[in-house]
Amino acid sequence: MNTQVTEVIVVGAGGAGLTLATELALAGVPAVVLDRLPGRNLQSRAGAIQPRTAEMLALRGLLDDALGRSIDYQLLGGHFAGLPVPLDFAAWDTRYPQPVLLPQDQLEAVLEERLTALGGRVLREHRLTGLRQDADGVTATVTGPGGTERSVRGRFLVACDGAHSSVRKLTGAAFPGQAARARMATADLVLTGDVDDSSTGHISSRIHTSPQGHFVMITPLANGLHKLIFSGPRTLSAERDAPVTADEVRDVLHATHGGSLDVAEIRYSSRFSDASRQLEHYRHGRVFFAGDSAHIHSPAGGQGLNLGVQDAFNLGWKLAAVLRGEAGEALLDTYQTERHPVAARVLALTRAQGVVMGPQRDGGLGELRDVLTDLIRLPDANRYLAGIMSGLDLRLPSPDAAAHPLLGLRMPDLDLVVGDGEKVRFSELTRTGRAVLLDLADAPLDGAASWSDRVTRVRARAEAGAIDAEAVLVRPDGYVCWAGGAGLTATLARWFGPAGPAAPTR
């Protein structure tokens, strides 16, 4: 059997897998991306990117391409459980205070085009059938087009192969959590009748229910299509692999809209559930898990795709640093420390929203919705939920409880002046995927030059009061790991390895 050798095997070419492969390619680390499908899944699936994901795409110069493919439909803000109060993301000082209506297939197209430009590619119709790991790496057995079998050998393997992950099954990784209580479906389709796409733009204006337990959310797509997420008695009892029929959709539309809407054509459809599960450990030897292979939950709040993309941004630069010999493998342990709690919180939030969005209106649920709606109108409560739902509030754990207030937070996308007066945003300094040491006061920064092969030092000026620090060290994923004061060289060594030239990778 022929064996292909690479550094990282990425299983799955969805949002998480393509983000990870692109980050590795940007760092010059070879990777092989395997996907079982013959081509990209053209169903819209996840429908929006949250503000923090938009910021991270901007760090790599990908956001403009994503915006160019987005749906021209202005959302007023996020939501919690579909309640009729927009979440105000602007309270978190972001350049992107609205969710971007971007079907998942379009985000994947943006990422795959960048991967191709960096010299990478996806091996389609390659199904993982076996996996063996040892102290030095992982060997994957793959069945390709026509049933040909081959093996791929890498130093690490990252599972990004979704909710029904083959890697998870092959490694025997336990996937504890809550079994499905409700089944739903989604479809990209052509509707007939009076579809009002000129509503307020808030999510609650697109959610419709019936007393019999029907639920439908309608979102416009491009080229006359609409995306429906729906459920009802027929959907609840359907088998997971059963096709979504026009009659099933009509049943929901009739219950929620009377006779005003009908189905002309279903282009793509799929079923899902509100099962909520999470791996206890995101690393099993030389195998890592990201995205839906590591955690699944209901789509309430629209966080799933964003969670996976942000997993990949966190893991990508760390894998690259280890494989380039810049850092020890202890750096990889921070992936679990930093990302596992984030997903655990999302799972708790989606379960709570599922209860609040439930079809029952007896037993006090209607009154609970009214109370929550009033609470979300309070600025502090709104800001709290907006931060959680968008990912903008994330603070990474720090060993120093009394550290600078910026430590562990995302770096603001400041307006800066560099060189002889050139105006740039901070995000424009991160396109190479390297860490940035932003010097805002021509500080000495003793010892920093010893990491110049891994960290880009930029002398710049910011608007007065924009940031309370003379210098800031920002990781490749956009989070502040040092902000003035003592400890710069210790922080550089912690995140980016020993001073001096990187050690050989083999």
Instruction: Divide the 506 residues of the chain into consecutive groups of 10 and give the mean pLDDT of each group.
Output: 92 98 98 96 90 98 96 80 91 94 95 98 97 97 94 98 96 95 92 74 71 87 90 91 95 92 95 94 98 93 91 98 96 98 96 82 80 97 96 90 86 94 97 97 90 96 90 97 92 94 52
Q: What are the angstrom distances between the C-alpha of 102 and each of 161, 301, 415, 480?
A: 21, 15, 26, 28
Q: Is the pTM of this model over 0.75?
A: yes
- 500 CB neighbour count, 10 Å cutoff: 9
Check: CB of residue 432 under 8 Å from CB of residue 456.
yes
Give the pLDDT score at 201.
60
CATH T-level fold of 415-496: Glutaredoxin (3.40.30)
DSSP lists the bridge partners of residue 439 as 459, 471
pLDDT at 259: 84
Strands 156-159 and 287-289: parallel
Instruction: Give CA angle at 409 (405, 414), nearest 5°.
Output: 90
CA distance 40 to 14: 8
| Nearest one of 46, 66, 47, 53 to 96, comparing CA atoms | 53
Which residue is associated with the tokens 């620090």? 469
* Every domain of the chain and the residues it spans: 3-47+103-177+277-352, 68-101+358-394, 183-273, 415-496
Alpha-carbon span 367 to 297, nearest angstrom: 26
Q: What is the DSSP letter of 96?
A: -
Q: What is the rounded distance in angstroms from the CA atom of residue 433 to the CA atom of residue 456?
A: 10
Q: DSSP label at 76?
A: -
Helices 104-117 and 15-26: crossing angle in degrees, nearest 10, is: 20
Return the bridge partners of 183, or none: 273
pLDDT at 362: 59
Q: 11, 287 in Cβ contact below 8 A?
A: no
Domains 183-273 and 415-496 share a fold: no
- C-alpha distances out from residue 84 to 35, 81, 206, 237, Å: 40, 9, 10, 29
Q: What is the C-alpha to C-alpha distance for residues 440 and 418, in angstroms, rounded to an integer?
A: 10
Distance between CA atoms of residues 452 and 457, nearest Å = 7
Are 198 and 232 in contact, with CB atoms under 8 Å apart?
A: no
Q: Rounded distance, CA 429 to CA 439, Å? A: 12
Q: Cα–Cα–Cα angle for 361, 367, 370, nearest 5°?
A: 115
Between the alpha carbon of residue 489 and those of residues 228, 327, 339, 504, the distances in Å are 53, 14, 25, 22
Query: 396: exposed, middle or buried (C-beta count within 10 Å: 0-12, 13-18, 19+)?
Result: buried
Q: CB burial class (10 A; 0-12, 13-18, 19+) of residue 95?
A: middle
CATH of domain 183-273: 3.30.70.2450
DSSP code at position 87:
B
pLDDT of the residue at 504: 45
Q: Which numeric CATH code is attached to 3-47+103-177+277-352?
A: 3.50.50.60
CB 356 within 8 A of CB 81: yes
Q: Specify the pLDDT at position 505.
A: 40
Report whether 491 contacts 399 (CB < 8 A): no
Any alpha helices (H) in 6-137, and if so which ranges? Answer: 15-26, 51-59, 63-68, 104-117
